[in-house]
Chain A
Amino acid sequence: MTDLILQALYSGLLQGGSYALIALGLALVFGTMRVINLAHGELVLLAAYIAYTVESGLGLNPAWAIPIAVVVVSLTSAGVYGIVSRIRKDREINSLILTFGIGVIMTNLILLIWKADVRSTSSSWLQEAFVVGPLYSMRGEAVFFIVSLLLMAGLWWWLSRSWYGRALRAVSSNREAAKLMGIPPARTELVSFIVAGMLAGFAGVALYSYGVIQPAYGGALTVKAFIITVLAGVGSIPGVLLGAVLLGVAEALTVTLASSALQELAGMMLFLLVLFVMPNGLLGASRRRG
């Protein structure tokens, strides 16, 4: 029994790495612009389907899809920013509905182009077992977990050291003050979208490499990213990683101890648990009683 649980913890941990990448993109944009991009999951899915095309169309290992996916998804993300930035009034709610609409467009485009069938990688290299002691995983899972950690470290470094990184943090804490200091908010927001796109690009290829994809999956991905953002609280990359691992582990444990059909439920329940038990820890939730 302990073996099963240990295995579940391990699988959850690995899965958490990729979930963290997905969630980071969402959190980055939200932090900078106070906009929740409901199409974010579709961006990740797009990258996954690009990986599929690279594999099935060109016969290459999906990892080769990374540069293409990153470029395409970043451009798409910039496009989303272009549309979102046009909203003048009530940005919070209107951007929500707007990105929801963009998500619907993207899901249906994906459906149109790639059809409804479920896809997953056929690369044996990625699917080969990778064993660490008593713990088993697919090589793809382990590889992308390491990649995720490296990317997160890079992101953390970039946010704290680079000019754009610090500009992002300035804009997210006080847009007006940042403007006064000469930081161009529009360009900074664009950068946040592009970086989110890059992260989504990686995450999507990772997703394809060890999971299954289908057009309807975009929405579920966005919801997961949102759940993690809520778990993490605002502003910390380690928090997002922790939240992502928590989600991954919860799902893995549910699959092991209950049934695989309830996997999605795990995330939702975790989400609600956090909402009820730690409401004051959430971004912008009411801090006062009235």
Chain B
Amino acid sequence: MNARPPGLAPVIAILVVGYGAVPLLLGANQYIMSLIVAALVIGCVALSWALLGNLGGMVSFGHSAFFGVGAYVSAIVTLKAGLPVAAGMVLGGAGAVLASLAMLPVLRLRGPYFALAILAYAHIFRIVATEWTSVTGGSGGIGNIPLLPALPPNLSGIGMGGKTGAYLVILTIVLLFALAYRAIRASHYGLALRAMRDSEDATRVVGVNSTLLKGLMLMVSAFMAGVAGAFNAHYLNFLEPDYAFNGVWVTLPIVAAIFGGYRTITGPVIGALVVYLLDQIVFKALIPTGHQLVLGGLLVAMILFSPTGLLPLLPSLRKSASRPGRNDHA
């Protein structure tokens, strides 16, 4: 007797809006679409960051490492080995997972140490990407990365190529990842992970291999961020170390996730849309250089006044959407 997943209506709404309304209404405006695509990429990283924080209990300041590794691996295998883009993106995610394996020894460190150790890794990967010229093209980067395959035009004749096609791809990726996140959280592993956040010993004493679970969450998080990076590489067709491993892939997802409510699944994505669009449309216009200042200010304000995020302050609407589906084995 499984309870019906709560919030079926919001799910349908998301599908209708995402796959229907947005391409139909905004598809023609390339500028807006490009903003939305970028926002969704950030949302994907934000989702992976929140997953690591919520389920893994680890705050990371180095997700740019996974993003960049995913981007480069995908670019290289598609360019040099001729693999199709879809395979490239999956391999990009796998590459990020491998990168995370290198970070496993860091798992046993406490919060701040883990966060900064990951940051150190991000720096290392950036430097490696810059210096390993033979493979990565060095600081000049890689160009001519294979484009995302153009999707066939749909029945009403709306061109699916270009921004709209990319939008649909990233939207699907984000939704798939959100579903996966939800599935993990609703499972027994999810229960154990949530319990581990407070006291690992309390879980280990009843047989939970907490180290393994944390490691798995790191790998899942890395995979998601890696795929986002890979997508981005094929979307832009160009890559360079300072871009792929840029601190913005650390800052924006964190601000987005906290803004939207990092304890929820939809929060980080919605937060990314709001924050990124605000940043690009409003803040950038006001303060062309250094507009990220506002983001920093947002972060500070949020931590002080509402550490679980701003959107969760909106009553009932948020609350019902955030309750995880419970598995009742009756």
User: B-contacting residues of A (Cβ < 8 Å)?
Assistant: 36, 38, 83, 86-87, 89-90, 92-94, 96-98, 100-109, 111-112, 115-116, 216, 219-220, 223, 226-227, 230, 259, 261-262, 264-265, 268-269, 271-272, 275-276, 279, 282-286, 290
Contacts and interface: CB of A to CB of B under 8 A. Distances in A.
B297 A101 contact: yes
B112 interface: yes
A97 B254 contact: yes
B34 to A, nearest CB: 23
B59 interface: yes
A101 B109 contact: no
B124 A268 contact: yes
Interface in B271-330: 287, 289-293, 295-300, 303-304, 307
27 contacts: A36-B112, A92-B111, A93-B111, A97-B258, A97-B303, A101-B296, A105-B293, A108-B290, A109-B290, A109-B293, A111-B289, A112-B289, A112-B290, A112-B293, A115-B289, A116-B289, A259-B131, A261-B131, A269-B124, A272-B117, A272-B121, A275-B117, A276-B105, A285-B108, A285-B110, A286-B110, A290-B200
B120 interface: yes
Interface string B246-275: 010001001100100000000000000000
A126 B45 CA distance: 46
Contacts of A36: 112, 116
B123 interface: yes
Given A104-B299, A264-B127, A285 B109 contact: yes
B254 A100 contact: yes
Nearest to B205: A290
A276 to B, nearest CB: 5
Contact of B299 (A86, A98, A227, A261): A98
A54 B201 CA distance: 55
B297 A272 contact: no
Taking residues whose C-beta sits less than 8 angstroms from the other chain, chain B's interface range is: 35 or more
B304 A83 contact: yes
Contact of B300 (A98, A230, A282): A98
B35 interface: no
A113 to B, nearest CB: 9
A112 B289 CA distance: 6
Interface in B195-210: 200-201, 204, 210
B254 to A, nearest CB: 7
A31 to B, nearest CB: 13
Nearest to A219: B247
A87 B59 CA distance: 17
B31 interface: no
Given A271-B117, A272-B120, A290 B292 contact: no
A37 B84 CA distance: 45
Contacts of A108: 290-293, 296
Contact of A93 (B59, B123, B290, B304): B59
Contacts of A230: 113
B192 interface: no
Contacts of A286: 108-110
A96 B112 contact: yes
